[in-house]
Structure 1
Amino acid sequence: MSAGADRRWEELARELQFSQLDQLRKQAEGWRNGLIGLTALVTVLAVLKGRDDLSKLPSPWQTVAILLLGSAFLLLVAGSLIAVRASFGKPGELLHLGGQSLRKWTLTEIRRVRQALYLSMSAFTLGMALVAAALGVSWTQTEDPAADLVKVASTTGDFCGQLVSYTHANVTLLPTTGDTTKPLVLRTADVRKIVPATAC
């Protein structure tokens, strides 16, 4: 390598210390934009692709899924705010006119921006993991069909199945044996007794 090329590399290395903060700010701004975009995408996917109604989850899993989604949302918002702080600095911060004070502030700010970027990335990673866990819970935990099973004694016979509806006119059951797709409708006037069942 020629002496001229060596000198040029030395000059670039010296100039780099003065542009380091600007480069970090640009990285933080790019990360902030990506984080906000991915947060919106994850939110849309969770709403559109997840279970439509978390209330259909069994009781403990419903609470778990809501806590996971709430924690993920808070982490993603916190990560976005940290990235915004790294991109634009602290609002209302005074400018440093002296060379030494400017140098000290710049070095401190470089350290803060780096820490903010790492925190933002960590919050995003953990938030994504929590969203994935919540989706896993909502997709793998199903309703307990035995929770709605009842035994019905009526004037026409005894029946067992999943209780679909109970009105002043009719009692509708979904049988668990035989043709399970066709509801069984009984007149309420013919029903003598309805009791919960654990199995049919």
Structure 2
Amino acid sequence: MSPGVVRRWGELARELEFCQLDMLRKQAEGWRNGLLGLTALVTVVTVLKGRDDLSQLPSSWRIVATSLLGVAFLLLVVGSLLAVRASFGRPGEQLLLGGNSLRRWTRVETTRVRRALHLSAAAFAGGVLLVVAALGVSWTYTESPATNLVKVTTVGGTVCGELVSYVPARATLLRTSQGSDHQMVIPGSEIRRMTPASAC
């Protein structure tokens, strides 16, 4: 390489020191816009494809899905704030006019912007993964269909359970109580009404 080319590369490297912060700010703005767009996309997918009502889930699954969405929301907010911080700096920050002070501030700020960018990307990735996990919980849970559930109105009150068999003389129901199943036989003379039930 000729001395002129080497000198030119050296000049470009020295110039890079002075415009490094501006380049990082522009990179941070691009990241912020891209990550906010990704968040909007995740939100649209959630609205279009997610379960309409988490209350239809059992309480344990509902707590898991709600917790995942809550932590995801916090991570996405933190990621957005970090991306904004990296793009525009801290509000109300004063710049010193001295050359050495400005140089020190630029070095420190460059490190802060890099750290904020990395943390922002990690927060967004974590938030998106948690949203996907919450969607997976709500999409994949299916209630085990309890077939043949009936409510039987008798002389003594109403009984609900899974209909095992029915003949005019008696109806046999399978009932669950305290975690165990047991059969209950109701004489036909006591049955006043029998209707299908969606849940007991």
Output the TM-score relative to the length of structure 1.
Answer: 0.75
Name the SS for the 1:96 alignment partner. coil
CA distance in 2, matches of 1:100, 1:146: 76
Name the SS for the 1:87 alignment partner. helix
Percentage of identical aligned residues: 66
Match of 2:174 in 1: none
Name the SS for the 2:91 alignment partner. coil
Q: For the structure 1 residues 15 and 118, does the alpha-carbon distance in structure 2 shift closer, same or farther, using more than 3 Å as the test?
A: same
Residue 54 (structure 1) shift: 1.2
For residues 101-121 of structure 1, give each alpha carbon's deviation from its aligned partner in whole angstroms, at most 9, with x where no partner exists: 000100010011011001101
Residue 35 (structure 1) shift: 1.2
For residues 37-64 of structure 1, give each alpha carbon's deviation from its aligned partner in whole angstroms, at most 9, with x where no partner exists: 1111101111111112211112210111
Match of 1:6 in 2: 6
Match of 1:191 in 2: 193
The 4+ residue runs of structure 1 with deviation greater than 3 A are: 144-151, 158-162, 192-198
- Residue 47 (structure 1) aligned with residue 47 (structure 2): yes
Match of 1:81 in 2: 81
For residues 151-177 of structure 1, give each alpha carbon's deviation from its aligned partner in whole angstroms, at most 9, with x where no partner exists: 42579xx99669xxxxxxxxxxxxxxx
Q: For the structure 1 residues 190 and 95, does the alpha-carbon distance in structure 2 shift closer, same or farther, using more than 3 Å as the test?
A: same
- Residue 142 (structure 1) aligned with residue 142 (structure 2): yes
Match of 1:95 in 2: 95
Residue 36 (structure 1) shift: 1.0
For residues 80-131 of structure 1, give each alpha carbon's deviation from its aligned partner in whole angstroms, at most 9, with x where no partner exists: 1110011000111112100000001000100110110011011011111101
Number of aligned positions between the proteins: 170
Residue 197 (structure 1) shift: 8.7
Contact 2:149–2:196 under 8 Å retained in 1: no
CA distance in 1, matches of 2:198, 2:49: 34
What is the RMSD of the two structures over their aligned residues, measured on CA atoms? 3.1
Residue 142 (structure 1) shift: 1.4
CA distance in 2, matches of 1:59, 1:144: 15
CA distance in 1, matches of 2:7, 2:130: 51
CA distance in 2, matches of 1:61, 1:98: 59
For residues 62-86 of structure 1, give each alpha carbon's deviation from its aligned partner in whole angstroms, at most 9, with x where no partner exists: 1111111111111111101110011
**How does 1:50-69 map onto structure 2 within 5 Å?**
50-69=50-69
- Residue 113 (structure 1) aligned with residue 113 (structure 2): yes
Which sections of structure 1, spanning at least 5 residues, go unmatched? Answer: 163-188
CA distance in 1, matches of 2:78, 2:47: 20
Match of 1:34 in 2: 34
- Residue 25 (structure 1) aligned with residue 22 (structure 2): no
Contact 2:150–2:195 under 8 Å retained in 1: no
Amino acid at match of 1:50: G
- Residue 133 (structure 1) aligned with residue 124 (structure 2): no
